Amino acid sequence: MPIKLTLQSTSQESNILGLSRDDLFSLVSDFETQPKRASMRVNQLWSWIYCYGMSSFDNMTNLDKDLRSKLQKVFNISRPAIEKKEVSNDGTIKYLFRLNDQSKIETVFIPEEKRSTLCISSQVGCTLNCSFCHTGTQKLVRNLSSQEIVGQVIAVYDDLGLWEKKRVNSSNSSCFEIITNIVFMGMGEPLLNYEEVKKACSILMDNKGLDFSRRRITLSTAGIVPKIKLAHEEIRCMIAISLHATENKTRDILVPINKKWNLEQLLGSLRDDIKLRNSERVTFEYVMLDGINDTKEDAHRLVRLLQGLPSKINLIPFNNWTGSQYKRSSLDRINAFRDIIIKSRLPSPIRKPRGEDIMAACGQLKSNSVKEEASI
Ligand code: SAH
């Protein structure tokens, strides 16, 4: 349902970033009573915000001055503030953003040869307590609004100067100059913040704006089973499942949400509810933990579990963090595991850890600032 934001009811400035087109329409209708004109205004605003990256109404030259100044008085288009930016020696960039309530979140830009991925957060912290994940040790947890989710993308576009390159001709730009993919693999469980993530995705996918295709957005989940089907039908982006174990007794420890929805329920739902299109596969993530889930028996069990389900298994070498009880499996062990999976004709790339020197790799995110502030 569109929210009603009116000039009358808004005494403070409020941010229009992350509003749906319906929300914006409702807002603009206060100034433009004719629906046709209001919808033209929405298109204009949308283009300024999501194609030109405008952070103020001043230079929106096709809106008349009076309207601009009215908008400027009441609304803003502000982004999360960059509290800290670290650049890894492999080119990965980790941003620590400060939100309006002073909470901190992290976002990671990962340039590669043929693509560049922005890894975004969906929550401050995470409630799932996966035993190998650093984010789970952070105390403070809350959902992010769609504004804060989209805001991460916009703020990185600003910081890296990507707006013009995006508009001019993204096919000619190198991957260091554009963002090709977005993954919800930062802090938080996106499917526990379903509505805001859905709204954010519709903005990211809008083809008159940021224009990320559904195949270039991946939502990673620890397995919130009822929401997987919904996300597949409604959001329609790619979904990756954090599997990490082949037996319930191990998965209960690694990914405790397994006690609520176990392997049989998770895989049953993927088989029954996900309608894959031609050549599409379900992506699984499998973190390689020394002596925990990395034996040849595990690999064979994994192949059996996934029988009949078109799958791709990303093997993620464990990324260490201080205080963790786990160790990364040796490369030999990872390769042996992979060979078994590949023999059964399932693609099984080994993910190259990125940004480890700045603690930006998968599962290493945690607003260190929370710790720093607490220790002052
Ligand atoms: N909550 C979501 C998304 C965030 S985590 C999920 O569970 O999928 C993104 C991915 O990083 C998940 O597959 C997660 O299991 C993995 N991960 C977490 N900690 C890790 C670590 N220390 N090393 C490697 N991968 C890790």
Average pLDDT value for the chain: 89
Provide mean pLDDT across the span 61-74: 88
Active site residues: 106, 362
Provide mean pLDDT across the span 299-303: 98
Which tens digit of pLDDT belongs to each residue from 213-244?
999 999 999 999 999 999 999 999 999 999 99
Provide mean pLDDT across the span 277-300: 95
CATH code of the region 81-358: 3.20.20.70
Please report the pLDDT score of residue 176 as a whole number. Answer: 52
Which tens digit of pLDDT belongs to each residue from 189-208?
999 999 999 999 999 999 99
The residue ranges of every structural domain in the chain are 10-74, 81-358
Q: Are 266 and 223 in contact (CB under 8 A)?
A: yes
Tell me which of 107-111, 247-251, 349-353 is least confident: 349-353
Provide mean pLDDT across the span 113-141: 90
pLDDT at 170 over 70: no
Residue bearing the CA closest to ligand 1, atom 5: 185
pLDDT at 17 over 70: yes
CATH code of the region 10-74: 1.10.150.530
Please report the pLDDT score of residue 363 as a whole number. Answer: 67
Residue 298 or 323, more confident = 298
Q: How far is the CA of 27 from the centre of ligand 1 (A)?
A: 38
> Which residues have any ligand 1 atom within 6 Å of their CB?
130, 132-134, 185, 189, 220-222, 242, 285, 287, 316, 318-319, 362-363
Q: How far is the CA of 313 from the centre of ligand 1 (A)?
A: 14
Which tens digit of pLDDT belongs to each residue from 251-262?
999 999 999 999
Q: Which of 120, 133, 352, 366 to mutate for ligand 1's pocket (most ligand atoms within 8 Å of CB)?
A: 133
Model pTM above 0.85? yes
Please report the pLDDT score of residue 11 as a whole number. Answer: 33
Q: Which of 242, 294, 352, 366 to mutate for ligand 1's pocket (most ligand atoms within 8 Å of CB)?
A: 242
Which tens digit of pLDDT belongs to each residue from 18-52?
999 999 999 888 888 899 999 999 999 999 999 99
Provide mean pLDDT across the span 258-269: 97
